[in-house]
């Protein structure tokens, strides 16, 4: 190979030989220097211009992880941590931190995910300090997403919490097996580590009246706190604003949030990973009605995730972010006499707070009421109390204050006039014409609009680039004669594949679940899912079919499904019957509850097949899955399994109940239920 150095004469020798080379060398050096100057100056200018094309973001400060140092710096003695999945626990935490001001104390609400929770033992460094936990339970006794790390730390730590004052309010639902498991765990564990419980654990039941449970607990909690710390229990009620309004008259609209949840322009410039703060805009590729008749609308949607890098497994949940109905938003704007397209920011009066705004700002009133705020659920008592100050009619003011009170008469009135009548904030404003709050205060008071979760009705093994949803559209008439519509299902119903030449999209992400098929495909499975409870089992069956196609040994696959009429709402009938013919489904048991005079449900069919079910569970090691209504169906199904265990297993009732609970503990009896 030729030596490259032999082919290029040195610059020095060329200069000595010919003056032409001297001129050439100067030219060459000038050219090189000129190129370097161009590259260093103009190339960098070009890079800067590209950055300028991106809307300017406010500088992101390093988030402080020491809640102790923050409390010391801001002279606060009470911290309220929340484990929240749907926003309710966070809302309660904010109310408690506000309450502290009414008793001459200063409090802060805090997300445990944002702080170093191992600092709990340092609370003794702050005089008369108190930590409160508002803890919701998710799924089968699991912590909420933002409390998972805290839960693990609390379980494993041996730190001493001696001298740490604490109280816990738990949020749960009695229809679930593990009622308020997280709140009970936190309360018990804090005491085991030496913490001082200054008030009894509060248990909130969302199946009954969670708001009343919280108000009743809170009513007794604060006097106990005042007694413990020797503070006078004045508890004077007054309106305390948390945010101040800023109206932007001259603003670049490219820097205004138009529905994005966290990062500005995240819907236009989609970047993975996609999660609760950064949902993927999945194109809708199919939206079809599943039922052939009846008054209900049951739908099947397919979302394309091929460009998202999102991965899911059968049994996972898809979270979708809906928007409120435009007609409701417009009516609120009309009643309040506000220009909905005004660009605003609501800035936290506490500059030290990690939560700078109640929702992404700057934005418009229209965007806030459409994308960010819950305007369709009945308002809680604290919202009524705050709105009462704007009533010009004394009767309206008295009524709202009474409903917000903790008196038995007030609780009964709130239950009847707000909850049972299903009045949302628009209905309240319509039925109390003298109540006209400023739009910014209403926006401050309303809770955030939450994502809706659906069991995925497909298998990633068969359909890796598509997520399917099966849902029933919610619509009903209230006692006041109004028609209330489910926010998410009605929004999804109208998601056509193409809308004015553009693809319809749904902001979504996937949340992992513990609802999983057995590791061994040869293990038998028994699935019970009436109505839209069939959703995850469509994914399970698809996965078993795929495994069978790959030549894997697949165990018995038994389905118990229920609907009203064979001719009306037998969902996925063709698919299920096809899987039965191919042998993927070894048993398809369908209960048509209203096709005969006496109603027949899935539990009746289970009793008929009790011998086969007992053999599968007791002898063959089958895994049982239940999906659907928690209040009645799931409980009835569990009772049937207990009866079968008693009759065919020779167990007492107590032994049968323990037997089913052991199956749950081993992961062989799983539930994906809702109330």
- Residues designated as active site: 455, 627, 672, 674
In sequence order, what E strands does 487-621 have?
498-499, 502-503, 505-511, 525-528, 557-563, 587-592
Q: In this structure, are residues 102 and 138 in contact, taking their beta carbons and an 8 Å threshold?
A: no
Q: Residue ranges for the binding site?
A: 84-89, 136-139, 171-180, 206, 296, 452-455, 470-472, 476, 486-489, 532, 593-594, 599-603, 636, 674
Q: What's 467's DSSP letter?
A: E
Q: Whose CA is closest to 107, among 381, 386, 350?
A: 350
Q: In this structure, are residues 328 and 428 in contact, taking their beta carbons and an 8 Å threshold?
A: no
Q: What is the dihedral of CA 609, 612, 613, 615, to 10 degrees?
A: 160
Q: In this structure, are residues 15 and 25 in contact, taking their beta carbons and an 8 Å threshold?
A: yes
Q: In sequence order, what DSSP letters do the residues of 387-414 get, joined into one string?
A: HHTTBSSHHHHHHHHHHHSSSHHHHHHH
Q: Match 């949302």 to its residue by tokens.
A: 424
Q: Residue ranges for the binding site for FMN?
A: 84-89, 136-139, 171-180, 206
Q: Residue ranges for the binding site for FAD?
A: 452-455, 470-472, 476, 486-489, 674
Q: In this structure, are residues 510 and 318 in contact, taking their beta carbons and an 8 Å threshold?
A: yes
Q: Which helix (H) or strand (E) covers residue 343, if one does?
A: strand 343-348
Which residues pair with residue 304 across a beta bridge? 466
Q: In sequence order, what DSSP letters do the residues of 244-258 get, joined into one string?
A: EEEEESS--GGGS-S
Helix, strand, coil distribution of the chain in percent, nearest 5 = 40, 20, 40
Q: How far is CA 556 from CA 266, 460, 528, 664, 670, in A?
A: 46, 21, 14, 20, 17
Q: Residue ranges for the binding site for NADP(+)?
A: 296, 532, 593-594, 599-603, 636
SS3 528: strand
Q: How far apart are CA 487 and CA 568, in angstroms?
A: 25
Q: In sequence order, what DSSP letters do the residues of 581-613 get, joined into one string?
A: HHTSSSEEEEEETTSSSS---HHHHHHHTHHHH
| Chain centroid offset of residue 79 CA | 23
| First-last CA distance in the chain | 80
Q: How far is CA 310 from CA 266, 274, 478, 506, 652, in A?
A: 16, 7, 40, 14, 48
Q: Match 């006039």 to its residue by tokens.
A: 417
Q: How far apart are CA 432 and CA 446, in angstroms?
A: 18
Q: In this structure, are residues 560 and 602 in contact, taking their beta carbons and an 8 Å threshold?
A: yes
Q: Whose CA is closest to 148, among 163, 167, 135, 161?
A: 135
What is the torsional sign of CA 334, 338, 339, 342?
negative
| Chain centroid offset of residue 507 CA | 13
In sequence order, what E strands does 91-129 have?
107-110
């Amino acid at each position: 190979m030729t030596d490259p150095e032999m082919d290029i004469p040195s610059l020095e020798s060329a200069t000595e030989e010919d003056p032409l080379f001297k001129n050439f060398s100067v030219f060459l050096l000038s050219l090189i220097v000129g190129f370097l100057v161009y590259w260093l100056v103009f190339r960098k200018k070009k890079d800067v211009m590209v950055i300028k094309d991106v809307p300017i973001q406010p500088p992101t400060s390093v988030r402080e992880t020491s809640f102790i140092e923050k409390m010391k710096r801001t002279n606060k003695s009470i911290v309220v941590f929340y484990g929240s999945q749907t926003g309710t626990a966070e809302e309660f935490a904010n109310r408690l931190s506000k309450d502290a001001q009414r008793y001459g104390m200063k409090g802060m609400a805090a997300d445990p995910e944002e702080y170093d929770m191992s600092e709990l033992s340092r609370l003794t460094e702050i005089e008369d300090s108190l930590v409160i936990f508002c803890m919701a339970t998710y799924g089968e006794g699991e912590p909420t997403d933002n409390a998972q790390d805290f839960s693990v730390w609390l379980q494993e730590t041996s730190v001493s919490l001696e001298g740490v004052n604490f109280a816990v309010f738990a949020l749960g639902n009695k229809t679930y097996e593990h009622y308020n498991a997280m709140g009970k765990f936190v309360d018990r564990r804090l005491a085991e580590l030496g913490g001082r419980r200054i008030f009894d654990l509060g248990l909130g039941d969302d199946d009954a009246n969670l708001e009343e449970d919280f108000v009743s607990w809170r009513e007794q909690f604060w006097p106990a706190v005042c007694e413990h710390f020797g503070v006078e229990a004045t508890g004077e009620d007054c309106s305390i604003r948390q945010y101040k309004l800023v109206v932007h008259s001259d603003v670049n609209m490219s820097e205004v949030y138009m529905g994005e949840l966290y990062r500005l322009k995240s819907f236009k410039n989609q970047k993975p990973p996609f999660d609760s703060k950064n949902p993927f805009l999945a194109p809708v590729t199919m939206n079809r009605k599943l039922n052939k008749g009846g008054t209900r609308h049951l739908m099947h949607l397919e979302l394309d995730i091929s460009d998202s890098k999102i991965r899911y497994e059968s049994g996972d949940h898809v979270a979708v972010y809906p928007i409120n109905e435009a007609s409701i938003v417009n009516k609120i704007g009309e009643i309040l006499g506000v220009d909905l397209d005004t660009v605003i920011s609501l800035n936290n009066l506490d500059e030290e707070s990690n939560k700078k705004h109640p929702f992404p700002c700057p934005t418009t009133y229209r965007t806030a009421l459409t994308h960010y705020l819950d305007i369709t659920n009945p308002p809680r008592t604290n919202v009524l109390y705050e709105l009462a100050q704007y009533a010009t009619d004394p009767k309206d003011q008295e009524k709202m204050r009474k409903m917000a009170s903790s008196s038995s008469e007030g609780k009964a009135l709130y239950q009847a006039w707000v909850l049972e009548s299903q009045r949302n904030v628009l209905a309240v404003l319509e039925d109390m014409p003298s109540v006209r709050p400023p739009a910014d205060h209403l926006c401050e008071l309303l809770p955030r609009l939450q994502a809706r979760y659906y069991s995925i009705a497909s298998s990633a093994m068969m359909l890796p680039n598509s997520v399917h949803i099966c849902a029933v559209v919610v619509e009903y008439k209230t006692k006041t004669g109004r028609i209330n519509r489910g926010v998410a299902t009605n929004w999804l119903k109208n998601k056509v594949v193409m809308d004015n030449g553009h693809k319809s999209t749904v902001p979504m992400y996937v949340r992992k679940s513990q609802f999983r098929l057995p590791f061994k495909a040869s293990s038998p499975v028994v699935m019970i899912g009436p109505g839209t409870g069939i959703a995850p089992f469509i994914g399970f069956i698809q996965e078993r079919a795929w495994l069978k196609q790959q030549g894997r040994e697949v165990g018995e696959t038994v389905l118990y499904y229920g609907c009203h009429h064979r001719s009306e709402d037998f969902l996925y009938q063709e698919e299920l019957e096809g899987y039965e013919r191919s042998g993927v489904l070894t048993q398809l048991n369908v209960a048509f509850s209203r096709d005969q005079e006496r109603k027949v449900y899935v539990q009746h069919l289970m009793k008929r097949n009790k011998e086969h079910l007992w053999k599968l569970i007791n002898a063959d090691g089958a895994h049982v899955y239940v999906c659907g209504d928690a209040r009645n169906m799931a409980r009835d199904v569990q009772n049937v399994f207990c009866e079968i265990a008693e009759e065919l297993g020779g167990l007492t009732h107590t032994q049968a109940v323990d037997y089913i609970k052991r199956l749950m503990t081993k992961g062989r009896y799983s539930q994906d239920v809702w109330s």
